[in-house]
Amino acid sequence: MACAIVCGESSPSHITLFRCLNRTLDSIKDNIAHIFANILGCQANTDANARNFRGEDLLPFTFEHFIKQWGEDNHLSAQDWLSEKKNAGNDQDPHAVFNVLDQMLKDSLERLRTMRESISVAKIGFLGCTPKANYSEHMDIVRGLSVDGKLGSAFWLRRKMIKKGIIPDVSTHNYLLNGLCKAGDLEMANWLIREMLEMGPSPNCATYNTFIKGYCLLDNVDKALYVFSTMGNNGIRPNIITCNILVHALCKKGLVENAKKLLEEILDDDDDDDKTDSGIITLTTLMDGYFKNGNMIQALSLWVDIQRNTEVDVVAYNVLIHGFCLSRQMNFAYGYLCEMTKRGLLPDVFTYNTLISVLCKEGKFEEACNIYGIMPRMGITPDEVSYKIIIQGLCISGDVVTAHEFLLSMLEKLMVPEPLVWNSIIDCHGRYGDLSNAVFVKDQMSAFGVQPNAYTYNALIHAQVKGGNIIDALSLEKEMLLSGLSPDVVTYNLLIGGACNLGHIEFAIELYHKMLRIGLDPDIFTYTELIRGNCKIGNIKEAEKVLVRIQASSLPIDHVPFQILFKKYCKMREPDRACDIYQKWLARRNMSCSL
């Protein structure tokens, strides 16, 4: 029977076996076709443009198409394989047909393995080309998301890249780190740097500078200095930018001498090309620190060094002028203003704002307004800070009319001031009893899209209380609640004071209990107003109970509550009780002094 099969003779049993063999091979063909169709189909969906695969080319894919691509030498058929055995004799093993089938299956699987390996190599090459372009775009997206503060999405995309075996470069990690530091999430930033040290890419100096600046923004200079000390351990050399960040943070805390030592340490080791330009930034920061500490000699010594070693810029002159303004030496400030102009350095808006600020603090508003008038002629447009300084100064001095004129000037120049400016004018109108203008400014504030805050309403309530309009003041409290604002302790102190001034002590006590119900803690001003109100209507015993309550609390207490009771007893011609109150005040004062 074996001989008959090998020689190609036909018999019913032989034909049945031969058909079974062909069906087996057809099944193998179908499985191979299905496997390769899936492989190539998925790859084409991943990036069809990379290898010019088209969907219509893949749909009719069959095993014969695949065989045709790989060449006729790889084609397998039962007849061709068996034809190699035509010379076999009739003395073969009767089970040779099964050995033939087994060998055919082995050869088919071996060819399948070889072809799949070849396809895998092609697939790797196919995928290896596209990610380089795509991952570059992905890193740009991560950077953009980090700048926009969308850190969750940025880290999600970073994880996806790492899972595909691509680690973003150090610049991309620095963007992520900067976003975390701006958000104040220094714990996550610390984790990111540790992961960079373990997995890569290695942190560079910019990485550590960003991390140090993050701690400085949170006013945690100790942590910033610790990070600075670890840079050398990780093979990173600090540069002048590192120095600038730390010197600024140390000077801000008044540690100018420490900043100077750090400056000397880093500048001695720094050999960057931009050392001179960066050095003037650090020296200027240090000079500003000495000025703020009142150390004029050291500050001027640094000024001499700056002039000798570097080219002085506008910022250095601004620091110098600001230093003389702090010490109220306006003659020197004006002198250096002229000197910088002679050297071809035009003063900027910061220069003029410095002069306007110190003049307003000294009450020289006419001179401040003159400086403001000079700015446009020098080509400098006053900014919001310029207006804010002048308006606040004028409101403090009580010149609300001029302050309102400056506000209108801002609005004409399409500058919408912050709530503090509006509130200053509202408060000034209220202090002088001009309720109509105070309300008008508040309405104008809302019309320009600036939402009134608690201070706005407190200023209006104060104006209403001062005018004796307690009902209108209470309506403002309700308006606050409707606007989504929560009244604070100042709000209720004003209302309680207004009720006490009108002799409505019961209503004042009701407001006091309302404070407690909503979770506000009364302060010394609250109790002082209650003492004043009780004394005004003659409830002297209730006033003394309030005083005892203050003394039993941990609130700091001044002389005012004692003074109110002392004066009341004096008016009642009760010197003994007045003397007793005086003795209590002395005991309280001595206790405070001993602490």
Q: What is the mean pLDDT of residues 11-25?
A: 50
* pLDDT of res. 336: 92
Q: What is the C-alpha separation between 465 and 386, in angstroms, rounded?
A: 33
Confidence check: pLDDT of 366 > 60: yes
How many percent of the chain have pLDDT more than 90?
37
Residue 235 lies in a domain: no
Residue 146 lies in a domain: no
Tokens of 543: 């006033």
pLDDT band for position 238 (cuts 50, 70, 90): confident
Q: What is the mean pLDDT of residues 117-135?
A: 46
With H, G, I as helix, E, B as strand and everything else as coil, classify residue 84. coil
Residue at 537: amino acid letter? I
Q: What is the C-alpha separation between 531 and 539, in angstroms, rounded?
A: 9
Write the pLDDT tens digit of every residue in 41-65: 444 444 444 333 333 333 344 444 4
User: Is the CB of residue 108 less than 8 Å from the CB of residue 76?
Assistant: yes
Tokens of 302: 């640094």
- Say which residue the tokens 């076709």 belong to: 33
* pLDDT of res. 268: 61
Q: What is the C-alpha separation between 49 and 72, in angstroms, rounded?
A: 29
Q: What is the C-alpha separation between 397 and 420, in angstroms, rounded?
A: 16
Higher pLDDT, 560 or 39: 560
Confidence check: pLDDT of 537 > 60: yes
Residue at 253: amino acid letter? K
* pLDDT of res. 532: 92
- Give per-residue burial for 462-485: e unless 16+ CB within 10 Å, then b: bbbbbeebbebbbebbeebeeeeb
Residue 235: Cβ within 10 Å count? 8
Confidence check: pLDDT of 9 > 80: no
Residue 332 lies in a domain: no
* pLDDT of res. 214: 92
pLDDT band for position 7 (cuts 50, 70, 90): very low
DSSP string, 137-163: HHHHHHHHHHHTT-HHHHHHHHHHHHH
Tokens of 454: 């608690």
Residue at 168: amino acid letter? P
Confidence check: pLDDT of 70 > 50: no
How many percent of the chain have pLDDT more than 70?
74
Confidence check: pLDDT of 154 > 70: yes
| Residue 91 phi, psi dihedral angles, 5° rounding | -90, 20
Q: CA–CA distance from 283 to each of 62, 244, 251, 301 (Å)?
A: 77, 9, 11, 11
Residue 379 lies in a domain: no
Residue 97 C-alpha from the chain's centroid: 78
Tokens of 411: 């609005």
Query: Does the N-terminal peptide bond of residue 12 adopt cis geometry, omega within 30 degrees of 0?
Result: no
Residue 50 lies in a domain: yes
* pLDDT of res. 97: 52
Instruction: Please indicate, yes or no, whether the overall pTM of this predicted structure exceeds 0.85.
Output: no
Tokens of 490: 């100042």
DSSP single-letter state for residue 487: P
Q: Which spans in 47-88 are helix H?
A: 48-51, 55-58, 63-70, 78-83
| Residue 204 phi, psi dihedral angles, 5° rounding | -115, -170
How many Cα atoms sit within 13 Å of 428 on the Cβ side? 21
Q: What is the CA radius of gyration of the chain?
A: 43
Q: What is the C-alpha separation between 400 and 388, in angstroms, rounded?
A: 13
- Give 268-272 contacts, CB < 8 A, sequence gap 24+: 269/237, 269/238, 270/239, 270/240, 270/243, 272/239, 272/240
pLDDT band for position 311 (cuts 50, 70, 90): confident
User: Is the CB of residue 549 less than 8 Å from the CB of residue 516?
Assistant: no
Confidence check: pLDDT of 343 > 70: yes
For the purposes of burial, counting CB atoms within 10 Å of the CB of 90, is it exposed (0-12), middle (13-18) or buried (19 or more)? Answer: exposed
Higher pLDDT, 289 or 24: 289
* pLDDT of res. 98: 53
Residue 447 lies in a domain: no
User: Is the CB of residue 522 less than 8 Å from the CB of residue 495?
Assistant: no
CA 497-499-505 angle, 5° bins = 105
* pLDDT of res. 592: 63
* pLDDT of res. 107: 66
Among 147-156, 303-312, 418-427, name the one with the lowest average pLDDT: 303-312
* pLDDT of res. 85: 45
How many Cα atoms sit within 13 Å of 339 on the Cβ side? 15
User: Is the CB of residue 183 less than 8 Å from the CB of residue 149?
Assistant: yes
* pLDDT of res. 101: 60
How many structural domains is the chain composed of?
A: 2
Q: Which of 137, 166, 195 is the last residue of a domain?
A: 137
Write the pLDDT tens digit of every residue in 444-479: 999 999 999 999 999 999 989 988 889 999 999 999
How many Cα atoms sit within 13 Å of 58 on the Cβ side? 18
Write the pLDDT tens digit of every residue in 241-272: 888 888 888 888 888 888 878 777 765 655 54
What's the per-residue H, E or C state across 523-558? CHHHHHHHHHHHHHCCCHHHHHHHHHHHHHCCCCCC
Residue 295: Cβ within 10 Å count? 16
Residue 192: Cβ within 10 Å count? 21
Residue 328 lies in a domain: no
Q: Which of 111, 137, 163 is the last residue of a domain?
A: 137
Q: What is the C-alpha separation between 595 and 584, in angstroms, rounded?
A: 17
- Among 94, 79, 69, which residue's Cα sits nearest to residue 21? 79
pLDDT band for position 229 (cuts 50, 70, 90): confident
Q: What is the mean pLDDT of residues 353-370?
A: 91
The domain containing residue 509 runs over which residues?
488-595
User: Is the CB of residue 90 less than 8 Å from the CB of residue 56?
Assistant: no
User: Is the CB of residue 337 less than 8 Å from the CB of residue 367?
Assistant: no
- Say which residue the tokens 């002088």 belong to: 432
Write the pLDDT tens digit of every residue in 481-495: 898 899 999 999 999
Confidence check: pLDDT of 157 > 70: yes
Cα dihedral angle (31, 36, 41, 42), rounded to 10 degrees? 100
Write the pLDDT tens digit of every residue in 323-334: 999 988 999 999
CATH code at 552?
A: 1.25.40.10
Among 102-106, 302-306, 379-383, name the one with the lowest average pLDDT: 102-106
For the purposes of burial, counting CB atoms within 10 Å of the CB of 242, is it exposed (0-12), middle (13-18) or buried (19 or more)? Answer: buried
Write the pLDDT tens digit of every residue in 211-224: 999 999 998 999 99
* pLDDT of res. 102: 63
* pLDDT of res. 55: 37
pLDDT band for position 138 (cuts 50, 70, 90): confident
Q: CA–CA distance from 449 to each of 58, 102, 414, 418, 442 (Å)?
A: 61, 86, 13, 10, 11
* pLDDT of res. 591: 66
Contacts of 533 (CB under 8 A, 6+ apart): 496, 499, 500, 501, 503, 505, 508
Residue 39 lies in a domain: yes
Contacts of 279 (CB under 8 A, 6+ apart): 240, 267, 309, 310
Q: What is the mean pLDDT of residues 192-211?
A: 91
User: Can you say whether the dihedral through the CA atoms of 450, 456, 461, 463 is positive or negative?
Assistant: negative
Q: What is the mean pLDDT of residues 307-335?
A: 89
Confidence check: pLDDT of 277 > 50: no
* pLDDT of res. 259: 81
DSSP single-letter state for residue 399: -
Q: Which of 137, 164, 192 is the last residue of a domain?
A: 137
Mean of all residue pLDDT scores within the chain: 79
